[in-house]
Amino acid sequence: MNRTDAQDRVLALREAIRHHDHRYYVLDAPEVSDAQYDALMRELVELEEAHPELVVEDSPTQRVAGAPSEQFAKVVHSRPMLSLQNVVDAEEIAEFDTRVQKTAGQGAVDYVCEPKMDGLAVELLYENGVFTRGATRGNGEVGEDVTPNLRTIKSLPLRLTGKAPERLTVRGEVFLKKADFERINAERQAAGEPLFVNPRNSAAGTLRMLDPRVTARRPLSIFLYEIGEWSGQPGFSSHWEKLQALADLGLPLNPKNTRARGLEAVQEIYDGLLAERHALPYEIDGLVVKVDAEDLRLRLGQVSKSPRWAVAYKFPPEEMATRVEKIDVNVGRTGALTPVAFLEPVKVGGVVVSRATLHNEDELRRKDVREGDWVFVRRAGDVIPEVVAPIPSRRTGTEVPWVFPTECPVCHAPAKRDEEGVVIRCTNALGCPAQLHAQLVHFASRGGMDIEGLGEELVGQLVRRKLVQEPADLYRLTDTQLLSLERMGTRSVENLLAAIDRSRTPALRRFLHALGIRHVGETTARQLADHFRGLPALFEAGLEDFQGVRDVGPVLATALHDFFQSERNRARIEALLAEGVAPVPPEERAGGPFEGKTVVITGTLERFTRDEAKAEVERRGGKVSGSVSKKTDWLVAGEAAGSKLKKAQELGVAILDEASFLKTLGIEPESGGEEDG
């Protein structure tokens, strides 16, 4: 790129970044995701590095972004509140580590790793141990005085414990827990107010309320992570020592903070935190990696407004902005019509997303998503991508409000709201091809009958050819019928017929889950199997019998009773039994070593998948948890066990390797295993 082109691009990038800064920090109404903003900033940094003559003092790269609101008194920070440079992959964090090692003149360096909270940065002032003032970061030099609002945070001490310095400034992050965010949005919806896009947006809006009484009704939280000033200069030698000093004063720190020696340990902590991020009660978007030694920090110094001794190791983005090309409905196995947004493809969380759910008609209306809209799309963990919210400021007037259909788009039967008044369903339960297709895919799924090779495309052919019109028809298929289908050769047909035959003796819990009973997932199916132990008891059960099952309430009990009393459902089950399908009841529990125990499973096991190992523990009366705590009885550690193993060791939790795990299960390592009933 020549100088003229570079200059034009730099000017355009600066204007775009300033616009998004104003939307994000001042208006609390972002138009792009964090990842897209980061990409703009990275491009600008690279261009200015390549063309240093284009750098000007008011470039976004020369200051921390954001400007104090005119609604609050201004606070000048005694020391600038720096922003962190982002690194986005293993290669970039390795480059950071290499630079640190070079300055240190040694090998492995000690780091402090802290979850990167998705909230609002603040600085607190304590004088003689008493909280006297709090301000937002603002532009890094000047922030907004939000003292009355900060006082409403119950976890923030108004008076420090222990021996406090005469003057202390401490930095931290104000955030809103996920559960509180959901509650606030529910209240705003009921009041007809616009919804917050995410917890960070909500926390920022709450902290900057002019009336602290409103703030007090929204339970903000705070974690502290850095000292600005400490009068008397106690001479801390490490960052970890500073954190311990803050904890001794009664200030809230993130319990996930940990130390790491060297790059490999940092990467292990990052991987572990990434794996458990959705189990945390608050939003995080990465790992902050800080050099621990204070003398090394001084030698590393800073560049522009960012320290050289710390970076934000960002997680893959899970929320991105893209455009809605059209909206359509998908017909599910229970006839539910689910609106789906077809999107301009965008990479979210490492996966290219071109479709996202809009849940139901009410949700579609509440969010006011239109064809042609720019929207935020989220993909958290393994859940189906969803449209979070539209971006009204990017509307041009050509966007079209979408009208929910009054009939099934596949069979054209009337579509009506169900008895719960939330979901609109196709009324043609017996004859709708779309419902049958979804039912068969669910029936054959891994959590159901586990018929390997019977996927979406093949089921579609079977339904279109009318070779399968109910689940029992799968067991009547012939090789001649299957060979007539597209891309089905002799070997494929043999494998499929063998898989179908193997599925004739499923565990009862799998069979119940495969039936596709409304509200019944794998856990409820297991509880039903454990309670009734066979189909005859389920057929004879009354409403009170179902209510006696663990975790089954009145609504689910009614759905179960109606299902097993339905002549149509009974006929479908009897047809399966007539084709040789024989569900295996669960084995009686013998009060073994797992009874009443809490178990965490981590790493890779050779014998079982994670779900299979969980099932083995649960069928023996144990409970499987996703995180290690003092309440954990055993940790099952497979290959490449990460941060959970380390935490278990720190807490003194008993650890089982795979061989010990199998022995405790009563399974010989060299055997073929036992049926998971």
Is residue 116 annotated as part of the catalytic site, yes or no? yes
Instruction: Supply 116's token pair.
Output: 């990167």
In whole angstroms, give the CA distance from residue 587 to residue 597.
Answer: 19
**Sequence-separated (6 or more) residues with CB below 8 Å from residue 512:** 520, 525, 528, 529, 538, 583
Instruction: Supply 354's token pair.
Output: 């071109």
Dihedral (CA of 478, 490, 505, 571) sign: negative
Alpha helices per DSSP H over 352-416: 361-367
| 294: Cα separation from own chain's centroid | 35
Amino acid letter for position 60: P
| 645: Cα separation from own chain's centroid | 22
Q: How many CA atoms does the CB half-sphere of 542 hold within 13 Å? A: 1
DSSP string, 471-507: GGGGGG--HHHHHTSTT--HHHHHHHHHHHHHTTS-B
634-637 and 598-602: which strand pairing? parallel
Instruction: Supply 520's token pair.
Output: 């019944």
Which DSSP state fits 548?
T
CB atoms within 10 A of CB 18: 15
Rg of the chain taking only CA atoms, in angstroms = 29
| 474: Cα separation from own chain's centroid | 36
Going across the sheet that includes 284-291, the strands are 85-87, 310-314, 284-291, 110-117, 258-261
DSSP string, 240-251: HHHHHHHHHTT-
Q: Which residues of 319-343 are buried (b: 16+ CB within 10 A; e: fewer)?
A: bbbbbbeebebebbbbbbbbbbbeb
337-348 and 319-331: which strand pairing? antiparallel
116, 614, 644, 647: which one is catalytic? 116
Contact 422, 360 (CB under 8 A): yes
Return the ∠ at Cα 573 (arms to 443 and 513), rounded to 5°: 35
In whole angstroms, give the CA distance from residue 173 to residue 200.
Answer: 10
Contact 566, 590 (CB under 8 A): no
Which DSSP state fits 161?
-
| Residue listed under structure tokens 């502290």 | 224
Dihedral (CA of 23, 28, 29, 30) sign: positive
DSSP string, 403-441: PPPSB-TTT--BEEE-TTSS-EEES-TTT-HHHHHHHHH
Could you give phi then psi for residue 337, rounded to 5 degrees? -95, 110
Supply the angle between the helices 3-21 and 34-50 in degrees, to the nearest 10: 150
Q: How many CA atoms does the CB half-sphere of 670 hold within 13 Å? A: 0
The residues that are catalytic are 116
